[in-house]
Amino acid sequence: MISKELRDYIQKSFKRGHVICLSGAGISYESGIPTFRGQGGLWEKYDPALYAHLEGLTQLFKTNPIKVIDFIIDFYSVILKAYPNPAHRALAILEKENILTSTITQNIDGLHQEAGSRNVIELHGNAFRIRCNCAPDKTRVLAKDEIKEMIGLLKNHKNSRIKILRVLSRYFPRCLNCGCRYRIDIVLFGEMLPQDELSRAYKELNNCHVLLIIGSSLVVYPAAGLPLYAKVRGAQLIEINNEPSGLSDLCDYRILGQAGEILTEILGVLGYA
């Protein structure tokens, strides 16, 4: 699957370190999480004009809370069933061997960390983390068991507005410092990316000599601008994707196929499989 030219390049270059990964929805698709816009994705069932905006969700909850609860249940039910796949595990091995410096991800499922990756930069947040709506640096991680418990309670009480509010208040409490309500720590449409995470991404790319682009369509900015940033600083771009992306022509090497299979093959080339 990997050409001899790329195989030779990997053997010569990867062990120098400073390899960075930019991952998108395609890598988690292999764990059973449909892409939001793809077949079976949430936007087939839920209108993103409402459900992907904080204002839309807030207004909808006031008028029809059951619809919002159905969305929350569907959203978390998919993520809770997912486990890291061979691609996630391969990246964790490359990081452990000091080949991969960091993983910059557009995903919110936490699968990179679950696979063992430690230096993960989350551009769009994390579905298992909540933060103060007024102070984004005040965060708390919700364990999977807590999320499962919350989903169970919401299912049982979805026809009672008062009980729904009690459940949500329990898992999304008010900040003890400012009194603002905690919210899920993900970037919704129209919101800015967390600037500390974006700054970390650019800092990592300053020293990058190889950028692995895995499963990203490269159409959502500013994340889609990161490969160009790395390219103009001398990095080689290797794209691993099931289909061409918005910046495929910019890449030095392009591999069409499943990320899990290709990254497992890369481990073999490096002698770690």
Q: Which residues are catalytic?
A: 124
- Report how far apart the first and last C-alpha atoms of the chain are (Å, whole number): 16
Pairing type for strands 182-186 and 125-132 reads: antiparallel
Q: Which two tokens stand for residue 62?
A: 């006031």
Q: Which two tokens stand for residue 110?
A: 């936490």
The span from the CA of 165 to the CA of 158, in Å, is 10
Residue closest to 47 by CA, chosen among 57, 33, 62: 57
Q: How far is CA 70 from CA 2, 64, 144, in A?
A: 43, 11, 19
Q: Is 73 in contact with 154 (CB distance < 8 Å)?
A: yes
| Neighbour order of strands in the sheet with 182-186 | 139-141, 125-132, 182-186
Contacts of 58 (CB under 8 A, 6+ apart): none
Length of the chain: 273
Contacts of 55 (CB under 8 A, 6+ apart): none
DSSP 129: E
- Phi, psi angle pair for 197, to nearest 5°: -70, -40
Q: Is 173 in contact with 215 (CB distance < 8 Å)?
A: no
Cis geometry, peptide bond prior to residue 34 (ω within 30 degrees of 0)? no
Q: Is 144 in contact with 136 (CB distance < 8 Å)?
A: no
